[in-house]
Amino acid sequence: MLDTLMSIDLTSLMQSTIRLAVPFILAAIGGLFSDTAGISSIELEAVILIGAFAAFAGAYYSGSLYVGLLCAVIAGILLNTIYAYMVVGTGASAPLVATTLMLLAIGLTNFFNRALFGVSIEVVRVKSMQAISIPLLHNIPFFGKVLFEQNILGYFTFLLVLAQWFFLKKTALGLEWRAVGENPVAADTAGIPVRRYRAIGVLLTGIFAALAGAYLSIAASNIFIEKMSAEKGYAAFAIIILGKYTPGGALLGCLLYGFADALQLNLQAMGADVPNQFLLMLPYVFTLIVLFVSGKGRRPSGHGKFFAGRSHR
Amino acid sequence: MKLEVNGISKSYGNVKANQKISFQLNQGEVLAVLGENGAGKTTLMRIIYGLEVADEGSISIDGKQVQINSPKDSIKLGIGMVHQHFMLAENLTVAENMILGTREKLTELINMKKVNEHIKEIFAEYHMPLDPEQVVGSLPVGLQQRVEIMKALYKGAQILVLDEPTAVLTPMEIRELFQIIKELTKNGKSVIFISHKLDEVMEVSDRILVLRQGKVVGEVKTKDTTKTELIKMMIGRELRALNKGLEFGSLNRKVLLSVDKLCVKGSGGKCIRDVSFQLWNYEILGIAGVDGNGQTELVEAITGLRKVESGDIFINNQKSTNFSVRKIRKMGIAHIPEDRRARGLILTQDLVNNYILENHDSFPFSKGKVLRKKAAIEYAQRLNQDYQVIADSVFVKAETLSGGNQQKVVVAREIEQQPDILIAVKPTRGVDVGAIEYIHSCILNERSKGKGILLVSSELDEIMALSDRILVMYNGEITGCVWADEVTEEDLGAMMTGVKKDFSAIRPKEIFKHETVI
Amino acid sequence: MRQSYRFIELTIKIAMPIMAIISAFLLCGLMLAAAGYDTLEAYKAIWMGAFGSKTSIALMLNKSAPFILLGVGVAIAFRGSSFNIGAEGQFFAGALGCALSEGILRNFNLPPWLLITLILFSSLVFGGVYGAIPGYLKAKRGSSEVVTSIMLSSVMILFVGYMVNGPIQEPNKLYSETQEIVEAARLPYIWEGTRLHAGILFAIVFALIIYFILEKTTFGYKIKAAGQNRLAAEYGGINPNFITVSTFIISGALSGLAGGIEVLGVSWKLYLSISPGYGYNAIAVALLAQLNPLVIILSGLLFGALNAGCNQMSRMIGVPAALSALLQALVLLFVIAYMPLQSKIEKRLMRESL
């Protein structure tokens, strides 16, 4: 076992760490847009799945990956419109609505996958996204290969982390955003439209989590597999808690996840002498440990508190 | 700036919270709005601040009619409000809280360093001992209130609405607040001071507006009125004298509850240290102190809701330290909790289920783990009747009852446990005068039956009126143990801020007779 | 006045789920049409598949049994304010317990009733123990039971996958399944000429038992008290953490039992596709019945019919059987979408009747 571990090539391990971390980062950062405004992003799983399918179907029928991305974004927005309406609008329980959307996403993707692509014997594929090397930078030893040979979604993701950090920490709107999450009633009395911010947060979550799904189906691979989200959304939700609801924390958590996943895949590929089911279990067990360690974590004080708006009082 | 309110009405369903209310506020004036709980004070202020929209009526500023649909509008018009429950995000800093909502364009950036410096200057100008970079949650309550006031001024408030601002303050802090109010009015600001406390209103205001059941029942100049007159306007009759009564000639005195060197960890790093006292039969032991000085933790430790770190608790001479809630209740403790909605009642269940919360396990309400619904219903009906709970039936959900009736349900349930010790935490919070009088008489009645009552309240009046002895808590410690009929409010205030200590009353006097008015 | 209010309240309670079902069928019909199928034909095929013949009715009832058991399990956890969406994993834990204990007990020549009882009991225990984990994590660490129970489901499914490919694989090592159980361990058929097994009876009996516990016992009182106001329950001397863990255990045990029944009654061996996602759709079953165990019998039958019917339909007219998953998800969606509507109407009625 130790020998197997020692023989892993560090550069390729780190490359696949980043590659595997990207969907987690997209989902977790996306989720933070609603979490920092006080709405639980436990619906990530459903959005990822529907995003993966929409991107695949869009790319397949149009022949363009960008149309695929657009389809994913639209699907994510549509799905999270339901979530926003129910959780932000009517105060329904977030886990309950999220589970409903999860079942809906499974039902929709399974049904339409079989209805649209199920007939042919051949596996339906699209041409997946290609990596773009950044001139000069990609020649830096080690870091160049690890960081500067991403596909377009990969670069976008790292910019997104920065953008979110800047938004929350450096802009007046970001301060208001955090205030909505910390104390919605106080934010309301300061004249901030609490429900509107929260709804927008949920829609942003929908957009980025759907892109995470798209990454799975048309960037990291070129096919759609039923339930291909494989609990990544729930893991991202756990990472958000572990990262104490900050973009930096989420980024670190996701990289850790990507690393564990990369290690697991490497071991599988090298034929480590452990049944592969146990290797596949690792991310799940890892999430359980994360949740056990972080418990409820320090979260925005107004997190999960329904704000009914003033006219309802 | 002059504010005029004309014929404001607002109803919720069938409840008329405000009916045709009119008044005006002149520049540099302190107007007190006086009324008991549920008189419509808060609704009126929420309308002025734009948190509610009135059904009819209008508001004018300097003679011009204005439309206030949201706090944004009122802030722009120069109205600021300090709410009873502070509107602060506790995890943000003082400065962040203050600039919240002052954004002018969507893409505005903030430079916290500059903001902090600017706000520091403002604090210096007003002589406020505040640090803009401190996290609000770590400040004591009195200072948090100053942040609220400064926040309103920062946003350009000319009219400041203070909603029950003294409820959370020590007598000392109240003095300081009044000082601040005086300075504000000197600078041409106007203040609306909402309260149900007569002494404070008499001291701080220039004029008084009295509300009862949503209507204006009186408007007087402060210097032309008396407390008795105000009470009459406020509740429509005179207060009943509270007959504390009872002569304890040769009583068989014994200790019911004994707390010995108790240490408990509280929430947010606070804790109580080395608390010792004894509660005897036939007495009411009041615990005074500003909220958040360890009273909650003490009660939770005694009732088994919180872990005791060290020290001991004895109920009827039997050790009960860190026993479960159930066991402790069985040993003879009943508990009227601080927050009836959060702890005292299951709001979504009917009164029957609420009445048997603690004894659903025992006969006659169950037999061999199977519930006996009929017995429970009869019990609930009896309690509703005995304790004058006004409800359609025992099958309505607890949430449909008024605050006063909800509290009566809790009081009834706890007294019917026939405990040796009754712990009553803020038993009259947020209920009307009728219910207050009734609940007070219930508590006194328990005392005359020989029970020991631990009465926790931040309302000094209530503590002084009901208690035989008073314990004072400050910062998790006991700073005083005094006779209720001998101590002055000033001395209590000093003990509540830890300035003075006095332990002259560690066991009850043998004989006393007392008559007093709340 | 109050009587008419009660009557209207009950009417709404009944009307809402029915409306949800109708809405789901309408929307799903549109989707079917969009995917190029004949909606009416598909629905007719589902009906025929579920109720068309003696055989299909038996099949439908067999499918309903796990839905009822899992639905009741989800409901009792829900009443105690826990959200058990890991019923799928507990189902497989129970099925695994069943396969393991059968593997041991088959050699002892026990009478069928004893053998079946012992095996099902071990399913119950396996499911219960596995259900205890998310309950414990929630009570002790405050971890979101939604995430933990989902993760544990995945772990258990992978573990069963490993077991049926390794330690307990059938002797020829060809298929990913266990060897067939002995005849004595199979659940008896209860309807002449069909394959309807005794599972449905178990399901109904357990639904009745849970109903009794919830409505008539002090334990049920505690569950509801802790579920509706944790702080008040604690203050009243009820240990809410105990309620969290114990309702999770009961929930897991019922799911485990369903797994055992599925193996002993239908598949006669353990493999990964014995569940079409019972555990996830049990949430819809429970909520459609507004968490009332008696009504869950009805909603369980509906979902059994949907599943059995869709399978038949897929065979007959070629619409993907995944339609049942979609239909069930839509039912749940409309159930929770109508919830605020329901409480709004109730509130208004209450105000008017006062």
Residue B341 lies in a domain: no
Cross-chain residue pair A310–B51, CB shorter than 8 Å: yes
Whether B471 shows a pLDDT value over 80: the answer reads yes
**C78 alpha-carbon distance from chain centroid:** 13
Residue C276 lies in a domain: yes
Residue B339 lies in a domain: no
Residue B138 lies in a domain: yes
Query: Which residue has 């405004």 as its token pair?
Result: A37
Domain limits at A89? 2-294
Q: Which two tokens stand for residue C298?
A: 């009805």
Task: Point out the least confidently predicted range of B81-90, B92-101, B163-172, B362-371.
Answer: B163-172
Q: Which region holds residue A17: left if phi is over 0, alpha if psi is between -120 and 50, else beta? A: alpha
Q: How far is A33 from chain C (nearest CA, A)?
A: 20
Question: If you count residue pairs, one on B and one on C, with CB atoms under 8 Å apart, how many are there?
Answer: 72
Q: Which residues of C touch A84 (CB under 8 A)?
A: none
Residue B211 lies in a domain: yes
What stretches in chain C show pLDDT beneath 70? 1-5, 350-354
Minimal-distance CA residue of chain A relative to B72 = A191
Residue A240 lies in a domain: yes
Q: How far is A70 from chain B (nearest CA, A)?
A: 26
- C315 contact B CB<8A: no
For residue C317, count other CB atoms closer than 10 A to its CB: 14
Q: Which residues of A touch C330 (CB under 8 A)?
A: 104, 107
Whether C210 and C295 have beta carbons less than 8 Å apart is answered as no
Domain limits at B393? 348-416
Residue C329 lies in a domain: no
Identify the CATH number of the domain in which residue B496 sits: 3.40.50.300
Residue C111 lies in a domain: yes
Residue C351 lies in a domain: no
Residues B248 and B229 in one domain: no
Minimal-distance CA residue of chain B relative to C224 = B349
Whether B121 shows a pLDDT value over 70: the answer reads yes
Q: What pTM does this model have? A: 0.89
Q: How far is C114 from chain B (nearest CA, A)?
A: 29
Residue C16 lies in a domain: no
Residue range B436-463, pLDDT digits in tens: 888 999 999 999 888 999 999 988 888 9
Could you write out the DSSP letters of every residue in C221-280? HHHHHHHH-HHHHHHTT--HHHHHHHHHHHHHHHHHHHHHHHIIIIISS--GGG-SSHHH
Residue C270 lies in a domain: yes
Distances (CA, A) of B54 to A120, A189, C26: 65, 17, 43
Residue B492 lies in a domain: yes
Count of domains forming chain B: 3
Q: Which two tokens stand for residue C128?
A: 């219960």
Task: Point out the least confidently predicted range of B34-43, B240-249, B412-421.
Answer: B240-249
What's the rounded Cα separation, in Å, for the pair A35 and A43? 11
Cross-chain residue pair C333–A104, CB shorter than 8 Å: yes
Collapsing DSSP to helix, strand or coil, A272 comes out as coil
Residue range B145-195, pLDDT digits in tens: 999 999 999 998 999 999 989 887 877 888 889 999 999 999 899 999 998
Q: Which residues of B touch A190 (CB under 8 A)?
A: 71, 75, 87, 100-101
What's the rounded Cα separation, in Å, for the pair A59 and A56? 5
What's the rounded Cα separation, in Å, for the pair A221 and B304? 57
Question: If you count residue pairs, one on A and one on B, with CB atoms under 8 Å apart, how many are there?
Answer: 78
Cross-chain residue pair A176–B96, CB shorter than 8 Å: no
Residue C78 lies in a domain: yes
Mean pLDDT of A182-187: 92
Mean pLDDT of B254-263: 92
Q: Which residues of A touch B86 (CB under 8 A)?
A: 186
Query: Which residue has 């760490």 as its token pair?
Result: A17
Amino acid at A234: Y
pLDDT score for C329? 92
Could you write out the DSSP letters of every residue in C12-69? HHHHHHHHHHHHHHHHHHHHHHHTT--HHHHHHHHHHHHHSSHHHHHHHHHHHHHHHH
Percent of chain B exceeding pLDDT 90 equals 55
Residue A313 lies in a domain: no
Cross-chain residue pair B99–A179, CB shorter than 8 Å: no
Minimal-distance CA residue of chain B relative to A186 = B87
E strand or H helix at B271, and its extent?
A: strand B271-280
Residues B178 and B317 in one domain: no
Minimal-distance CA residue of chain A relative to B82 = A189
E strand or H helix at A91, and its extent?
A: none
Whether A312 shows a pLDDT value over 50: the answer reads no
Count of domains forming chain C: 1
Q: Which two tokens stand for residue A188?
A: 């309301």
Whether C39 and C220 have beta carbons less than 8 Å apart is answered as no
Q: How far is A163 from chain C (nearest CA, A)?
A: 28
pLDDT grade, residue B84 (50/70/90)? confident
What's the rounded Cα separation, in Å, for the pair C243 and C230? 10
What's the rounded Cα separation, in Å, for the pair A294 and C137? 11
Whether B425 and B446 have beta carbons less than 8 Å apart is answered as no
Q: Which two tokens stand for residue A175?
A: 């301060």
Cross-chain residue pair A191–B101, CB shorter than 8 Å: yes
Q: Which residues of B touch C216 (CB under 8 A)?
A: 370-371
Residue range A100-151, pLDDT digits in tens: 999 999 999 999 998 888 766 567 777 777 778 777 777 777 777 777 777 8
pLDDT score for C350? 66
Q: Which two tokens stand for residue A306?
A: 């329904």
Residue range A50-70, pLDDT digits in tens: 999 999 999 999 989 999 999
pLDDT score for B102? 85
B367: phi then psi, degrees, rounded to nearest 5: -140, 120
Identify the CATH number of the domain in which residue A111 sits: 1.10.3470
Distances (CA, A) of B354 to B327, B358, B414: 20, 9, 11
Residue A302 lies in a domain: no
Cross-chain residue pair B90–A172, CB shorter than 8 Å: no
Domain limits at C284? 38-318
Which among B206, B235, B264 is the end of a domain? B235
Using a CB cutoff of 8 Å and minimum separation of 24, what contacts does B58-65 make? B58/B5, B58/B6, B58/B7, B58/B8, B59/B3, B59/B4, B59/B5, B59/B6, B59/B8, B60/B3, B60/B4, B60/B6, B61/B1, B61/B2, B61/B3, B61/B4, B62/B1, B62/B2, B63/B2, B63/B4
Whether C42 and C51 have beta carbons less than 8 Å apart is answered as no
Residues B123 and B257 in one domain: no
Whether B91 shows a pLDDT value over 70: the answer reads yes
Residue range A73-92, pLDDT digits in tens: 999 999 999 999 999 998 88
Collapsing DSSP to helix, strand or coil, A104 comes out as helix
Residues B484 and B397 in one domain: no
- CA torsion, points B417, B335, B405, C214, in degrees to nearest 10? -70
Residues paired with residue B11 on neighbouring β-strands, in sequence order? B16
Cross-chain residue pair C141–A106, CB shorter than 8 Å: no
Q: Which two tokens stand for residue B123?
A: 């604090």
Subunits next to A (3 or more Cβ pairs <8 Å) are B, C
DSSP letter (8 states) at residue A119: S
Mean pLDDT score of chain B, rounded to an integer? 88
Residues B431 and B293 in one domain: yes
Query: Closest partner residue to A191 among B71, B83, B90, by Cβ?
Result: B71
Instruction: Classify residue A90 by burial, with Cβ atoms within 10 Å: 0-12, 13-18, 19+.
Output: middle
What's the rounded Cα separation, in Å, for the pair C124 and C253? 4
Whether B493 shows a pLDDT value over 90: the answer reads no
Cross-chain residue pair B52–A310, CB shorter than 8 Å: yes
Minimal-distance CA residue of chain C relative to A108 = C326
For residue B441, count other CB atoms closer than 10 A to its CB: 13
Could you write out the DSSP letters of every residue in C313-354? HHHHH---TTHHHHHHHHHHHHHHHHHHHHHHHHHHHHHHH-
pLDDT grade, residue B481 (50/70/90)? very high
What's the rounded Cα separation, in Å, for the pair A13 and C204? 54
Identify the CATH number of the domain in which residue C261 sits: 1.10.3470
Which among B191, B215, B235 is the end of a domain? B235
Chain C interface mutation, best of A112, A119, A284, A303, highest count of C Cβ atoms under 10 Å: A284
**B317 alpha-carbon distance from chain centroid:** 33
Count of domains forming chain A: 1
Q: Which residues of A touch C151 (CB under 8 A)?
A: 231, 234-235, 284-285, 287-288, 291
pLDDT score for B301? 95
Residues B136 and B278 in one domain: no
Cross-chain residue pair B89–A310, CB shorter than 8 Å: no
What's the rounded Cα separation, in Å, for the pair C155 and C162? 10
CA A268-A271-A275 angle, 5° bins: 70
What's the rounded Cα separation, in Å, for the pair B145 and C3? 50
ipTM for the whole complex: 0.87
What's the rounded Cα separation, in Å, for the pair B42 and B339? 19
Residue A264 lies in a domain: yes
What's the rounded Cα separation, in Å, for the pair A60 and A52? 12
Q: Which two tokens stand for residue A219?
A: 């960037």
Peptide linkage before A283 cis (omega within 30 of 0): no
Query: Closest partner residue to B110 among A170, A192, A311, by Cβ?
Result: A170
